[in-house]
Amino acid sequence: MNLGTAALQVTRETGRMFLFLLQTILASFSPPWRLRNVFKQIHFIGMRSLFVIALTSVFAGMVLALQGYYTLSRFGSEALLGPAVALSMIRELGPVLSGLMITGRAGSAIAAELGIMRIREQIDALDVMGVPPIHFLAVPRFLAGLIVLPLLTVMFDVIGIWGGYLVAVQLLGMSAGTYLGGIESAVSMHDITTGLMKALCFGIVITWVCSYKGYFARRGAEGVSHATTSAVVLSSVMILVSDYFITAMML
Amino acid sequence: MTTHPSSPTTTELRARLADTFSEECREYRQRYHDNPAAVVPILSMQGVTKHLDGRMVLNGIDLDIPKQAITAIIGISGSGKSVTLKHLVGLMRPDSGIVALDGQNLGSLSGKKIQAVRRRFSLLFQGGALFDSLNVFDNVAFPLRETTRISESEIQTRVLGALEDVNLSGMEHKFPDELSGGMNKRAALARALITRPEIILLDEPTAGLDPIIENAIHHLICATFLRTRTTMVVISHAVPAIFKWCHHVIVLHQGKVLASGPAMTIQDSSDPVIRQFIRGEVDGPIHIL
């Protein structure tokens, strides 16, 4: 493949992806409102991710406290461990790790499910029945992603900070007042808003990229496998790239 | 259960159905020969070309689908039958040429207009295309729930009736992966019929089924036609059986229409390609091996 063809292909693919996003956003504002489908997706993306989010967040908080204590103790600043854990969680790790976890657990499932529907002609069947497939399939997932990611991120933050508390207070013998008091004085509303804004954007990225990749899957089982892999890789990369730009904008 | 001595048996009913339909086909051929213009087309394609992955699949297709008749599209694998069907329902757009429904160019429609047109159709996909996450009842009820405002009790009545028509009573709670190939096709057929569309397109409704189920599905299609007079387009490899069950036949070969006309006329065609296809001979103008 020569350079020109590759460039055209990337441009075409990018254009199609943005058109898909635009169609999804526009369809979100048009009836019928399929609330049952939205709730079903909230349950699938959110409720069924609770365990993995709780597990990763508690260990993320614990390791952050352990590493933070080790680093801060070199400068005699152990008292800043609470704010360090909380700010890292709220501003950065909460939204990013939640996004990556949801990509792995729910995003891959979204891409695979839509991919199978595509190759088994179920998406064409919707079209023939006069049911707009983007409205029926992509919109509920998109709305669920918007609602669920910020909520899961909040949960990740809280459990992560609690994991840090376990290590700092129970293991390293720091006083609970120092740990929690530092958090209260250091964390501002702006930090929380930044984290939630990121979570919202990652919710869009995950459901958009994974729905798109599955929706346009081709060529049988191998095509679905390829769509799922590229959905997970692209969403993860886009989460990290957009994380940088959101951080830069909101500092 | 007792049967009235004078009431016809199922076998007699089937024989009567076949006789009625073959009489219809004879009348259709006569009408077509006397005055082809009297056979009104509902769908037509003019000069349709389509490339897929750099290969020309449709190479200037011109065809008419007669209204209120069963039309079979036949041809060897790769001749463009399924692609033609997807053009007829607007799932694919031609590179050039026109696909028209009642004279209206489908290529000029988009958004809600094309959705409204599509609701006049039903398409039975080759693999059934039932939704894996829904049971048989919900699959069949799906188009009614999504595209109509009829009550749930009415939906229940119609779905159970449709399932009875395709001999799937009692299977409402099964999921698609629990059904055999024949049951899957029949459930998909029930879903295609439930909205009482004007035009039903069937993509190989009997592919991969045993001869008994194949015959049963042909009977079912035919009985549905006689009851509803719906325009039907069937893609089929069930040659020569299909000639008994349709009025009109279109033969596709290498992306073009090779022949089109009443089933009986096509069956008697002297064209070597059609003769080879009907007889299933390996040697002839179509080179497979």
Q: What is the pLDDT of residue B55?
A: 85
Flag whether pLDDT at B213 surpasses 70: yes
* % of chain B exceeding 90 in pLDDT: 16
Contact B127/A at CB under 8 A: yes
Flag whether pLDDT at B177 surpasses 70: yes
User: Out of A134-138, A245-249, B54-58, B129-133, which region has the weakest mean confidence (pLDDT)?
Assistant: B54-58
The C-alpha atoms of residue B247 and residue A226 are separated, in whole angstroms, by 45
Contacts of B118 in chain A (CB under 8 A): 127-130
**Residue A32 Cα, gap to closest chain B Cα (Å):** 9
Contact A127/B at CB under 8 A: yes
**Residue B232 Cα, gap to closest chain A Cα (Å):** 15
Residue scoring higher pLDDT (A119 or B110): A119
The predicted model gives A162-170 an average pLDDT of: 93
Flag whether pLDDT at B141 surpasses 90: yes
Nearest-10 crossing angle of helices B181-193, B152-165: 130
Contact B175/A at CB under 8 A: no
Contact A130/B at CB under 8 A: yes
Cross-chain residue pair B116–A128, CB shorter than 8 Å? no
Residue pLDDT, tens place only, B28-72? 777 777 777 777 888 899 999 998 888 888 888 899 898 888 899
Q: Identify whether the C-beta of residue B173 lies closer than 8 Å to the C-beta of residue B135.
A: yes
Omega cis (within 30) before A32: yes
Distance in angstroms between the alpha carbons of the first and the last residue of chain A: 42
Contact B53/A at CB under 8 A: no
* CA A219 vs CA A190, A226, B86, B285: distances in Å: 47, 10, 18, 31
Contact A129/B at CB under 8 A: yes
The C-alpha atoms of residue B193 and residue B21 are separated, in whole angstroms, by 20
Q: What is the pLDDT of residue B4?
A: 53
Residue pLDDT, tens place only, A204-223? 999 999 999 999 998 888 89
User: Out of A3-7, A141-145, B6-10, B231-235, which region has the weakest mean confidence (pLDDT)?
Assistant: B6-10
Contact A181/B at CB under 8 A: no
* pTM, to two decimals: 0.84
The predicted model gives A119-142 an average pLDDT of: 91
Cross-chain residue pair B118–A127, CB shorter than 8 Å? yes
Report residue B1's pLDDT band, with 50, 70 and 90 as the boundaries: very low
Contacts of B143 in chain A (CB under 8 A): 129, 131
Omega cis (within 30) before A83: no
Cross-chain residue pair B127–A121, CB shorter than 8 Å? yes
- Give the best-scoring range by mean pLDDT among A168-182, A200-214, B140-154, B178-192: A200-214
Flag whether pLDDT at A192 surpasses 80: yes
Q: Identify whether the C-beta of residue A213 lies closer than 8 Å to the C-beta of residue A121.
A: no
**Residue A9 Cα, gap to closest chain B Cα (Å):** 14
The predicted model gives A10-38 an average pLDDT of: 91
Flag whether pLDDT at B104 surpasses 90: no
The predicted model gives A85-91 an average pLDDT of: 93
CA angle A134, A140, A144 (to 5 degrees): 140
Q: Identify whether the C-beta of residue B39 lies closer than 8 Å to the C-beta of residue B31.
A: yes
Report residue B264's pLDDT band, with 50, 70 and 90 as the boundaries: confident
Chain A residue with Cα closest to B115: A130
Nearest to A203 by CA among A249, A133, A154: A154
The C-alpha atoms of residue A103 and residue B10 are separated, in whole angstroms, by 57
The C-alpha atoms of residue A127 and residue B11 are separated, in whole angstroms, by 39
Interface pTM, i.e. ipTM: 0.81
Q: What's A160's DSSP letter?
A: H
Task: List phi, psi (to 5°) of A8.
Answer: -60, -40
Contacts of A122 in chain B (CB under 8 A): 129-132
Query: What mean pLDDT is reported for chain B?
Result: 83
Report residue A145's pLDDT band, with 50, 70 and 90 as the boundaries: very high
Report residue A89's pLDDT band, with 50, 70 and 90 as the boundaries: very high
Q: B180 is written with which tokens?
A: 């055999």
Contact A218/B at CB under 8 A: no
Collapsed DSSP state (helix, strand, coil) of residue B41: strand
Flag whether pLDDT at B3 surpasses 70: no
Flag whether pLDDT at B286 surpasses 80: no
Homologous superfamily of the B42-120+199-282 domain (CATH): P-loop containing nucleotide triphosphate hydrolases (3.40.50.300)
Flag whether pLDDT at B105 surpasses 90: no
Query: What mean pLDDT is reported for chain A?
Result: 92
Ordered DSSP codes for B210-245: -HHHHHHHHHHHHHHHHHH--EEEEE---TTGGGGS
The predicted model gives A176-195 an average pLDDT of: 90
Which of B88, B106, B123, B235 is the best mutation test for A, with the most CBs of A within 10 A? B123
Domain residue limits, chain A: 34-250
Report residue B2's pLDDT band, with 50, 70 and 90 as the boundaries: very low
Flag whether pLDDT at B259 surpasses 70: yes
Domain residue limits, chain B: 42-120+199-282, 130-196
Q: What is the pLDDT of residue A162?
A: 95
Q: What is the pLDDT of residue B113?
A: 82
Cross-chain residue pair A129–B118, CB shorter than 8 Å? yes
